[in-house]
């Protein structure tokens, strides 16, 4: 096989088990966008650190939620996995095969195994094409005979809950929710393994959001799909994901089994994100303790030293300003990159180990249990001080 | 019931004379596909210092209602009926001159998209000063001072320097603050905010909502908040009007709507939210079907085709009226009796309605 040549330079031990169970394997991935300036000759003057040394895996059949605020790099990350953007550094493997630098030829057979559903159902469908052409396009591109296309499109329409008479309509004749169904049908056309969903419901009304989420759920079960669900809305992500990765300024802050992230957030950033979401229940909302983080995410051109969250973090100390925290491994495969973790007991802190998915640039120090910051349920948060 | 007792006397709880009275407002647009009735017989009152949330899905007419109050929906193909009285001025049929005196000075608006609602080629200071001087004869220097104060008040750091920045030099959250400063520049008594935080990240949304609440307490301005996000509503509103397909289908205080909702659409809305504070259910309950097209609405109750409780009477339009004893201000548009509603709205998980009470106590 041709890919063996590419693999020789990778000495990571995880190579063998990639083939069984692991669909996507991202190692120390970096995506930097150069900022160029100059007259006639462009010089690179700075770099946007969109994704900065991220390591994680997506297992076959699971749904990984990737969350964070705008500008945190989650979309860049998902596009890099789809090979729509080239990685600056690091390795990307799909079913054990190194595709970091794979060319067009090599990618083509893989493309049908990874598909994408986009955020905006109004912009992601060609307004001049009929539904049958839109959904049929990937089929034609990948060599389905012309006379078979329409039958397959009918089948797909049925699977996403649209009627066969929709076949010859144009996108403008559909509502947002229906359009998103068309986008899902298009992604399903080639029977992919992986579907990257980039904010698939954030442009839709609440009642329609629930319909689409249920549809995605059904399809996953029926076709054994693997999802990477990119979203900023943590409530939606909770309802679809098995595991969740929280990103901030190009770095992974926390990776956790889905339910645990909500009941036991370890990283103060995750806690702040969760507490910023208003709960649709007036009484609970009034009683709840919240951290309102002040300020805004810093500029990714010049990320802060140490922990990238320290300028906004209520728990930040000197060590946070100087040393980048490693991803510490807590029970249940819960990872968090924080010097002052929350909701973990002193014992859990003592037992924590530096995970080998930590970025290269991080320090070796693990959080110390003696600071009295650990124990306690989720509600005992640091003083919920409103911003001045 | 208001959220909690306001420390400042200025944030008076809703009482006495309403500030704004909208009666029987109808807005229709003539289009190629026929006349589209965007807003049908909408009536509500707004008290000083009150935050009224207008909730609904896209196409429910919530934005058209809000914009009509500002005279922003006027166009050759639009037709208006009904009245909206604000301090002796009738807004729906007011002349452009009358409107101009009210707009910005008395009733101000914050739009959804902070990226497009500021003029990109003027410094933000100039945009604020322009609005101030449009309504008050202030010398440049004083107007500029006021602009700096405003920017400071909405939480823009180093306001004195930032006032000479262009909109592109601000982030989304900061631009929305500039929009709020602009809206507050003439001390309006009514602030209409159309999805003010929808385009923002949650951490920024929390900051903006807090700022809006503080400003209401400081200035005593009433706020009409147009939104689809029930979390935001629970966080900030005093009263709620739920709109569906051009009509208000239910109206009441925050607690009435959340804890004793009367209309099946409200049950569906409350039931279909993915909640961040609850474990994942097997399936999210979803309201089946789609909102009706505005040009082709069902007879009678507009929610009828999607409602699991539909019966014969629903082909007549139910009036918006109080149907509960002891809650004269809790209005709804549904033919079911209050007892039937109580019984039917609590359902098994996965169905449209509210979570049955027995499970609710678990949290």
Closest residue in A to B57 (Cα) is A205
- Average of per-residue pLDDT values in chain B: 85
Q: In B, residues 195-234, which contact A (CB 8 Å cutoff)?
A: 201-207, 209-210, 228-234
Q: What is the nearest CA distance from A161 to chain B, expressed in angstroms? A: 11
Residue A35 near residue A47 (C-beta atoms within 8 A) = yes
DSSP string, A302-340: SPPSSSTTGGG-TT--HHHHHSPPP-EEEGGGEEE--SS
Give whole-number Cα distances, B47 to A5, A210, A228, A338, B190, in Å.
74, 35, 47, 48, 10
Flag if A214 and B274 touch (Cβ within 8 Å): no
Q: How far is CA B173 from the centre of its chain?
A: 19
Structure tokens at B349: 């998980």
Flag if A232 and B202 touch (Cβ within 8 Å): yes
Q: What is the nearest CA distance from A81 to chain B, expressed in angstroms? A: 24
The residue whose two tokens read 């100390």 is A317
| Residues of chain A where predicted confidence (pLDDT) is lower than 70 | 1-20, 370-388
Q: What is the nearest CA distance from B252 to chain A, expressed in angstroms? A: 14
pTM more than 0.90: no
Is residue B362 less than 8 Å (CB to CB) from chain A?
A: no
Is residue B116 less than 8 Å (CB to CB) from chain A?
A: no
Distance (Å, whole) CA A284 – CA B234: 9
Structure tokens at B228: 């689809």
Q: Which of B4, B171, B286 is the closest to A214 by Cβ?
A: B286
Closest residue in A to B155 (Cα) is A388
Helix, strand and coil in chain B, % to nearest 5? 35, 20, 45
Flag if B284 and A214 touch (Cβ within 8 Å): yes
Give whole-number Cα distances, A332 to A228, A264, A357, B92, B352, in Å.
21, 12, 16, 61, 35
Average pLDDT over residues B318-333: 91
Q: What is the pLDDT of residue A95?
A: 92
Residue A161 near residue A91 (C-beta atoms within 8 A) = no
Is the pLDDT score of B235 beyond 50? yes
Q: What is the pLDDT of residue A78?
A: 92
Structure tokens at A256: 């956790």
Chains A & B: contacts with CB separation below 8 Å: 135
Is the pLDDT score of B359 beyond 60? no
Kindly report the backbone phi and psi dihedral angles of residue A348, in degrees, each rounded to the nearest multiple of 5, phi listed first. -60, -35
Q: Which of A205, A272, A294 is the closest to B58 by Cβ?
A: A205
Distance (Å, whole) CA A66 – CA B13: 42
Instruction: Return the minimum-mean-pLDDT range out of A16-30, A338-352, B168-182, B331-345.
Output: A16-30
Q: What is the nearest CA distance from B259 to chain A, expressed in angstroms? A: 9
Q: What is the pLDDT of residue A385?
A: 32
Residues A42-80: tens digit of each pLDDT: 888 888 999 999 999 999 999 999 998 888 889 899 999
Is residue B269 less than 8 Å (CB to CB) from chain A?
A: yes
Is the pLDDT score of B10 beyond 60? no
Is residue B63 less than 8 Å (CB to CB) from chain A?
A: no
Q: Which of A176, A177, A234 is the closest to B276 by Cβ?
A: A234
Binned at pLDDT 50, 70 and 90, residue B361 comes out as very low
Q: What is the pLDDT of residue B15?
A: 53
DSSP B52: E
Distance (Å, whole) CA A26 – CA A33: 19
- On chain A, the residues whose CB falls within 8 A of the CB of B279 are 259, 262
Flag if A285 and B235 touch (Cβ within 8 Å): yes
Average pLDDT over residues B234-241: 94
- On chain A, the residues whose CB falls within 8 A of the CB of B252 are none
Residues A127-140: tens digit of each pLDDT: 999 999 999 999 99
Q: What is the pLDDT of residue A69?
A: 85
Flag if A238 and B276 touch (Cβ within 8 Å): yes
Flag if B202 and A277 touch (Cβ within 8 Å): yes
Q: What is the pLDDT of residue A3?
A: 46
Binned at pLDDT 50, 70 and 90, residue B197 comes out as confident
């Amino acid at each position: 096989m041709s890919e063996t040549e590419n693999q020789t330079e990778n000495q990571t031990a995880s190579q063998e088990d990639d083939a069984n169970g692991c669909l996507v394997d991202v190692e120390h991935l970096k995506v930097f966008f150069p900022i160029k300036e100059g007259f006639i000759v462009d010089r690179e003057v700075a770099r946007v650190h969109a994704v900065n040394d991220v390591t994680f895996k997506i297992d076959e059949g699971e749904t990984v939620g990737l969350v964070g605020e705008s500008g945190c790099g989650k979309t860049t990350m998902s596009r890099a996995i789809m090979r729509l953007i080239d990685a600056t550094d690091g390795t990307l493997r799909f079913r054990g095969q190194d595709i970091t630098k794979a060319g067009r030829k090599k990618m083509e057979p893989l493309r049908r195994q990874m598909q994408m559903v986009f955020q905006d159902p109004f912009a992601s469908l060609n307004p001049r094409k009929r539904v049958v052409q839109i959904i049929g396009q990937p089929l034609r591109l990948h060599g389905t005979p012309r006379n078979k296309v329409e039958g397959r499109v009918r089948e797909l329409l049925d699977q996403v809950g649209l009627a066969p008479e929709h076949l010859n309509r144009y996108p403008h004749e559909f509502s947002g929710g229906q359009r998103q169904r068309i986008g899902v049908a298009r992604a399903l056309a080639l029977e992919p393994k992986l579907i990257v969903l980039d904010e698939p419901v954030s442009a839709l009304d609440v009642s329609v959001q629930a319909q689409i989420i249920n549809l995605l759920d059904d399809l996953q079960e029926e076709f054994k799909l693997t999802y990477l669900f990119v979203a900023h809305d943590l409530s939606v992500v909770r309802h679809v994901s098995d595991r969740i990765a929280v990103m901030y300024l190009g770095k992974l802050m926390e990776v956790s089994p889905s339910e645990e992230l909500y009941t036991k957030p370890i990283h103060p950033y995750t806690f702040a994100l969760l507490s910023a979401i208003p709960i649709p229940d007036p009484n609970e909302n009034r009683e709840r303790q919240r951290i309102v983080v002040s300020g805004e995410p810093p500029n990714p051109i010049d990320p802060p030293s140490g922990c990238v969250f320290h300028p906004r973090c209520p728990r930040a100390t000197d060590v946070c300003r100087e040393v980048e925290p490693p991803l510490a491994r807590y029970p249940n495969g819960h990872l968090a990159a924080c010097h002052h973790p929350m909701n973990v007991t002193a014992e859990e802190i003592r037992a924590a180990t530096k995970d080998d998915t930590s970025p290269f640039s991080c320090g070796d120090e693990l959080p110390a249990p003696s600071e009295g910051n650990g124990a306690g349920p989720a509600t005992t948060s640091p003083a919920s001080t409103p911003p001045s | 019931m208001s959220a909690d007792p306001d420390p400042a006397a200025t944030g008076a709880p809703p009482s006495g004379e309403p500030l704004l009275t909208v009666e029987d407002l109808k807005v229709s647009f003539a289009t190629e596909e026929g006349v589209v009735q965007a807003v049908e017989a909408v009536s509500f009152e707004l008290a000083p210092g009150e935050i009224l949330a207008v909730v609904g899905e896209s196409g429910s007419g919530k934005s058209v209602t809000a914009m009509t109050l500002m005279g922003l929906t006027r166009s050759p193909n639009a037709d208006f009926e009904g009245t909206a009285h604000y301090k002796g001025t009738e807004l729906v049929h007011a002349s452009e001159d009358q409107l101009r005196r009210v707009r910005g000075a008395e009733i101000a608006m914050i739009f959804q998209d902070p990226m497009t609602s500021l003029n990109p080629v003027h410094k933000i200071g100039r945009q604020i000063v322009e609005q101030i001087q449009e309504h008050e004869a202030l010398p440049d220097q004083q107007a500029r001072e006021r602009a700096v104060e405003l920017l400071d008040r909405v939480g823009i750091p180093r306001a004195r320097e930032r006032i000479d920045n262009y909109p592109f030099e601000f982030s989304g959250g900061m631009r929305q603050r500039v929009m709020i400063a602009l809206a507050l520049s003439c001390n309006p008594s009514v602030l209409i905010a159309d999805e003010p935080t929808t385009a923002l990240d949650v951490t920024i949304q929390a900051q903006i909502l807090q700022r809006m609440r503080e400003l209401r307490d400081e200035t005593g301005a009433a706020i009409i908040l147009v939104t689809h996000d029930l979390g935001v509503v629970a966080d900030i509103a005093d009263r709620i009007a739920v709109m569906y397909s051009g009509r208000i289908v239910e109206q009441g205080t925050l607690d009435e709507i959340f804890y004793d909702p009367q209309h099946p659409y409200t049950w569906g809305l409350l039931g279909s939210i993915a909640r961040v504070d609850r474990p994942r259910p097997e399936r999210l309950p979803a309201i089946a079907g789609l909102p009706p097209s505005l040009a082709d609405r069902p007879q009678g109750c507009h929610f009828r085709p999607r409602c699991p409780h539909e019966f014969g009477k629903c082909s007549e339009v139910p009036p918006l009226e109080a149907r509960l004893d002891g809650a004269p201000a809790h209005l709804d548009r549904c033919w079911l009796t209050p007892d039937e509603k109580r019984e039917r709205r609590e359902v098994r998980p996965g169905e449209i309605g509210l979570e049955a009470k027995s499970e609710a106590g678990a949290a």
